[in-house]
Amino acid sequence: MPQSSTSLAEHEATSVAYGPLEIAYDSRVLTPRDWTRQQSTWAADLMQDLPDGPILELCSGAGHIGLLAAHLSGRRAVLVDMEPTACHYARLNAETAGLGEFVEVRLARADAALRPDERFACVMVDPPWVPTSEIDRFPEDPRLAIDGGEDGLDVIRDLLHVVAPALLPHGVALVQLGTSAQVEQLHTWLDTPDSPSLTITEVRVHGDRGVVALLEQA
Ligand SMILES: C[S@@+](CC[C@H](N)C(=O)[O-])C[C@H]1O[C@@H](n2cnc3c(N)ncnc32)[C@H](O)[C@@H]1O
C-alpha cells in the first residue's frame, strides 16, 4: 500500500516500501508490484555463484527490481529505461537507497543503451508483456510499460538480441513474463535458427501475477 504522498506540479508522487527500499513513483510509470521482489531475491541468490561483474536491468521503470538486486548482492548495476520519468525515479530511488554511487541509470532504448564491450554477470528484464488486444484491461498503466505486441512477446524477442551478447561467460538472465504459455512460446522461438543463443533452464510461476524465467547461454 502507498505509504506517503507529495503533491508535484501535475502528478502525485507516491512512495511504497519494497522490501528494505523506499520506492518513489507516479502515475506516469508502472506501479511497483510487490511480488516482483522475488525476481530480485532470485538474482541475488544466483549471484553468489556467478562471475564477478555488474547487474544490467532492462526496462527498469522506477528501478526497484534492479535496485533491490544491487542492494542484496552488493554489485554495481546499470538500469535502462526509455521513459524519462521512469529514469528520474530510478535515479531518485537509487539515491534514497544509498546506491547512487553504485548504480548508473541510462535513459535509452534497450537496443541503444550499451557500449559494444560491456558485459554483465546478471541481466534482469521486465519487458512489456501484455498482448495488445488485452491492454484495455489495465487502463491505469502507461501503454509503453505494458504493450508487448500481438502475442506480448515482441519486446522481449528484440531485447534478448541485446541480452545474449551482453552476458559474461556463465552469466545469466532473469526475464519476467505474464504467463507460462508465453514462456513456452519463447522457449520454442529460442529453438529457431535466428534467435539468440540462450536457453530457458528454470521457470518460477507466481500465481496469476507473473512468471520469471532463468535463461543461460545455450
Ligand atoms: C513492464 S514495465 C516494468 C517497469 C518496472 N520494472 C516495474 O516492475 O514496474 C516496462 C518498462 O519498460 C520500458 N520500455 C519499454 N520498451 C522499452 C525499450 N525498448 N527499451 C527500454 N525501455 C523500454 C517502459 O518505459 C517501462 O518502464
pLDDT tens series, the chain, 218 aa: 444 444 445 799 999 999 999 999 999 999 999 999 999 999 999 999 999 999 999 999 999 999 999 999 999 999 999 999 999 999 999 999 999 999 999 999 999 999 999 999 999 999 999 999 999 999 999 999 999 999 999 999 999 999 999 999 999 999 999 999 999 999 999 999 999 999 999 999 999 999 999 999 99
- What's the start-to-end Cα distance of the chain, in Å? 41
Question: Apex CA 67: angle with CA 120 and CA 64, to 5°?
Answer: 125
209 contacts 200 by C-beta, under 8 angstroms = no
Calculate the alpha carbon distances from 120 to 83, 142, 167, 193, 196 in Å: 22, 29, 5, 24, 16
pTM, two decimals, is 0.95
Domain boundaries, the chain: 33-217
Measured in Å, residue 187 CA sits from the centre of ligand 1 at 22
Ligand 1 site, residue 67, Cβ cutoff 6 A: no
- CB-count exposure of residue 84 (10 Å: 0-12, 13-18, 19+): exposed
Pocket test for ligand 1, best of 15, 31, 81 (most atoms within 8 A of CB): 81
Give the homologous superfamily in CATH for domain 33-217.
Vaccinia Virus protein VP39 (3.40.50.150)
Q: Say how many Å lie between the CA of residue 175 and the centre of ligand 1.
A: 12
Which uninterrupted H or E stretch holds 43? helix 37-47
Integer Cα distance of 125 and 128 in angstroms: 10
Q: Which three cell numbers mark 193? A: 535458427
40 lines ligand 1 (CB under 6 A): no
Contact between residue 190 and residue 196 where contact means Cβ atoms under 8 Å apart? yes
